[in-house]
């Protein structure tokens, strides 16, 4: 009898242990939270360029403990903030998701529109007329949307950035909130698309008045300025200035800006604001505590604003990344303490890279230069003289020309002849490699890899009519740096994963930015976003 009782008890204990163990394993089937970071304008080589001064806990930890996809590229031509963030979180391309640029020309209303513009939305937390923003221009779902769809909206999704588009697009249509920095007030704001009032935790964060505090500070280099050997000397005439200074030199005293909250968007403090707001979101929304995987997206825009101003070889950029590295290390510590090292899935990437400053290239006898937009007037003059068109070009958005089809068609002219004349003018321009009608991209005499990127970037209703390939190292000024081209300095981006179910390693296999969202979907075992064209990264999913 005792033996029978003992066996029964043992069996029950074994079953109970098995059930508990199975439940524990099921809990590990998903991470508590996915944290996706986009560093705006981060070139791939920044992962390694400043390694001699990176801390052990930031970028070095990512590369040591994580899995890095060393050969990740943007699969379309318009390497800009809006399309980049969209591709990362949708796995799609502009021809499908519709975010062809930060702005494009909307023929239906005869004006340029912003990629997150929404006239039906109003601002929340700031001036009501100042933030008419939402994800309505986005034509597909995001990975955050799919996470919510997979579990009856139990996952929470929050997006944070200095830029509105850097917060809204990654968060997606169904987000619990997207918050960005208002340069007029120094507060984080949102849109009536998401809510009517800021949550208490956002109000509490704004009440800390961090922006006001940073406007009492100076930005000085972490190390003696003469030791920044990865950068050019501090004062270069091809670097832009900021906060009213006559030269682009340290220190930068923000206390002299008379409450210029916008100046923080280009400074190290812009990154700090995003990190602190990210921590506040985790605590305020209790992210990762519900038993369902949540998503937090953080986009760091100060790196882009400063990069445009001074270019990749400035001490300001080196110092900004050294400081970003230290803040990243602190953020990893925060996540470790909150979730455990294997309780969160983390990835870091960029929306695009950046060219060298044309001034720097010319200084070093490398190809580069600056061009003027005089060809636009030349095309209009040609249209008047040869075809009787009052205004041939409506506008040019980055490297795309929009033609005035309403007038062109009303005059019954030979459209092919007109297009040939326009192409001839564009091809005479010293800053351009080639130009081609967007409707005929498939027949462009370009290498397939280039042609396909322009095709991927073309949306029938939102794109321009002529694609222009600008020469590498050329832009409209020799000062600062830019992006927007298919070249490796713009399209080769970092992509590093760490944390839940990620084994250390690397691959030099060709991977595309559009592979990120379907990889997350495969790891979470949910549907990939509705417009996804990417492929899961098998080194992470198999």
* CA pair distance 438, 526, nearest whole angstrom: 36
- Read off the tokens for 98: 């519709």
Number of H helices, E strands in the chain: 20, 23
Q: Residue 465 is part of which domain span?
A: 372-429+432-470
Whether the Cβ atoms of residue 228 and residue 47 lie closer than 8 Å to each other: no
The DSSP bridge pattern shows strands 157-161 and 111-114 to be unpaired
Q: Give yes or no: residues 260 and 162 share one domain.
A: yes
* CA pair distance 18, 227, nearest whole angstrom: 59
| Long-range contacts of the stretch 409-415 (C-beta < 8 A, 24+) | 411/387, 413/387, 413/388, 413/389
Q: Give yes or no: residues 355 and 412 share one domain.
A: no
- Cα–chain center distance at 240: 23
Q: In 10 A of CB 338, how many CB atoms? A: 17
- Catalytic (active-site) positions: 81
- Cα–Cα distances in angstroms (integers) from residue 95 to residues 235, 453, 454, 459, in the given order: 42, 10, 9, 4
In a domain? residue 478: no
* CA pair distance 400, 347, nearest whole angstrom: 32
Q: Give yes or no: residues 459 and 528 share one domain.
A: no
Q: Could you tell me which residues are beta bridge partners of residue 189?
A: 180
Q: Give yes or no: residues 351 and 392 share one domain.
A: no
Closest to 52 measured CA to CA, from 233, 227, 307:
227
Residues 6+ apart with CB under 8 A from 483: 41, 79, 80, 352, 353, 354, 355, 490
Q: Give yes or no: residues 253 and 286 share one domain.
A: yes
In a domain? residue 109: yes
Helix (H) or strand (E) holding 219: strand 218-219
What is the DSSP-derived secondary structure letter of residue 363?
H
Q: Give yes or no: residues 377 and 357 share one domain.
A: no
Q: Give yes or no: residues 489 and 439 share one domain.
A: no
Q: Give yes or no: residues 80 and 191 share one domain.
A: yes
* CA pair distance 433, 435, nearest whole angstrom: 7
CA angle, corner 140, sides to 136 and 145, nearest 5?
Answer: 90
Q: Give yes or no: residues 415 and 535 share one domain.
A: no
DSSP characters over 110-165:
TEEEETTB-TT--EESS-GGG--B-STT--S--HHHHHHHTTTT-S-EEEEESSHH
Q: What is the pLDDT along the chain (542 residues), one digit of tens a residue?
A: 545 544 554 455 454 444 444 444 344 589 999 999 999 999 999 999 999 999 999 999 999 999 999 999 999 999 999 999 999 999 999 999 999 999 999 998 999 999 999 999 999 998 765 668 999 999 999 999 999 999 999 999 999 999 999 999 999 999 999 999 999 999 999 999 999 999 999 999 999 999 999 999 999 999 999 999 999 999 999 999 999 899 999 999 999 878 899 999 999 999 999 999 999 999 999 999 999 999 999 999 999 999 999 999 999 999 999 999 999 999 999 999 999 999 999 999 999 999 999 999 999 999 999 998 899 999 999 999 999 999 999 999 888 999 999 999 999 899 999 999 999 999 999 899 999 999 999 999 999 999 999 999 999 999 999 999 999 999 999 999 999 999 999 999 999 999 999 999 999 999 999 999 999 999 999 999 999 999 999 999 99
DSSP characters over 421-465:
HHHHHHHT-TTEEEEEEGGGGGG-SS-HHHHHHHHHT--TTTS-S
* CA pair distance 492, 71, nearest whole angstrom: 7
Helix (H) or strand (E) holding 315: helix 315-339
CATH of the domain at 287: 3.40.720.10
In a domain? residue 446: yes
Rg of the chain in Å (alpha carbons): 25
Q: Give yes or no: residues 323 and 420 share one domain.
A: no
- Angle, helices 302-310 vs 268-284, to 10°: value is 170
Whether the Cβ atoms of residue 99 and residue 82 lie closer than 8 Å to each other: yes
CATH of the domain at 462: 3.30.1360.150
In a domain? residue 15: no
Q: Give yes or no: residues 318 and 413 share one domain.
A: no
In a domain? residue 254: yes
In a domain? residue 7: no
The dihedral built from the CA positions of residue 310, 316, 318 and 320, taken in this order, carries a sign that is negative
Domain endpoint, select from 412, 446, 470: 470
SS3 73: strand
Please give the pLDDT value at position 2: 45
In a domain? residue 345: yes
In a domain? residue 479: no
What's the domain count of the chain? 2
Q: Give yes or no: residues 202 and 327 share one domain.
A: yes
Whether the Cβ atoms of residue 319 and residue 229 lie closer than 8 Å to each other: no
Domain endpoint, select from 410, 442, 470: 470
């Amino acid at each position: 009898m005792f033996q029978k009782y003992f066996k029964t008890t043992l069996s029950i204990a074994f079953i109970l242990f098995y059930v508990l163990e199975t439940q524990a394993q099921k809990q590990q089937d998903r991470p508590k939270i996915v944290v996706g970071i986009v560093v705006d304008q981060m070139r791939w080589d920044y992962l390694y360029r400043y390694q001699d001064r990176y801390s052990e806990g930031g970028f070095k930890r990512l590369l040591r403990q994580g899995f890095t996809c060393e050969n990740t590229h943007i699969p379309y031509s318009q390497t800009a903030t809006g399309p980049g963030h969209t591709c990362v979180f949708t796995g799609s391309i502009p021809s499908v998701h519709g975010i062809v640029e930060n702005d494009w020309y909307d023929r239906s209303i005869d004006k340029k529109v912003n990629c997150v513009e929404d006239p039906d939305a109003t601002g929340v937390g700031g001036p009501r007329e100042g933030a008419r923003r939402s994800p309505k221009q986005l034509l597909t779902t995001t990975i955050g949307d799919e996470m919510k769809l997979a579990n009856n909206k139990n996952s929470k999704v929050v997006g944070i950035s200095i830029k509105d588009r850097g917060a809204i697009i990654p968060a997606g249509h169904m987000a619990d909130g997207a918050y960005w920095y208002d340069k007029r007030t120094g507060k984080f704001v949102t849109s009536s698309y998401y809510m009517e009032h800021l949550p208490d935790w956002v109000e509490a964060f704004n009440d800390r008045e961090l922006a006001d505090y940073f406007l009492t500070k100076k930005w000085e280099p972490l190390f003696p300025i003469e030791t920044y050997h990865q950068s050019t000397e501090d004062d270069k005439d091809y670097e832009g200035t900021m906060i009213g200074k006559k030269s682009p030199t340290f220190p930068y005293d923000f206390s002299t800006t008379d409450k210029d909250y916008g100046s923080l968007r280009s400074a190290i403090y812009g990154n700090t604001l995003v990190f602190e707001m990210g921590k506040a979101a985790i605590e305020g929304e209790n992210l990762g505590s519900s038993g369902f995987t949540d998503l937090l997206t953080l986009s760091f825009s100060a790196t882009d604003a400063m990069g445009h101003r001074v270019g990749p070889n400035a001490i300001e950029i080196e110092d900004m990344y050294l400081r970003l590295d230290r803040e990243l290390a602190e953020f990893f510590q925060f996540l470790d303490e909150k979730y455990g090292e294997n309780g969160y899935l983390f990835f870091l990437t960029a929306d695009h890279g950046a060219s060298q400053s044309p001034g720097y290239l010319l200084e070093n006898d490398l190809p580069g230069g600056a061009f003027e937009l005089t060809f636009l007037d030349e095309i209009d003059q040609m249209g008047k003289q040869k075809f009787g068109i009052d205004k041939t070009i409506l506008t040019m958005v980055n490297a795309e020309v929009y033609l005035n089809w309403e007038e062109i068609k009303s005059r019954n002219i030979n459209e092919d002849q007109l297009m040939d004349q326009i192409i001839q003018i564009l091809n005479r321009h010293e800053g351009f490699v080639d130009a081609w009608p967007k409707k005929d991209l498939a027949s462009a005499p370009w290498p397939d890899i280039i042609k396909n990127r322009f095709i991927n970037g073309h949306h029938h209703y939102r794109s321009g009519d002529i694609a222009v390939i600008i020469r590498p190292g050329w832009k409209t000024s020799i000062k600062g740096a830019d992006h927007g081209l298919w070249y490796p300095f713009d399209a080769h981006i970092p992509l590093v994963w760490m944390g839940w179910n990620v084994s250390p390693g690397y691959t030099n296999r060709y991977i595309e930015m559009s592979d990120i969202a379907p990889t997350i979907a495969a790891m979470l075992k949910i549907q990939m976003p509705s417009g996804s064209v990417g492929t899961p990264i098998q080194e992470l999913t198999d």
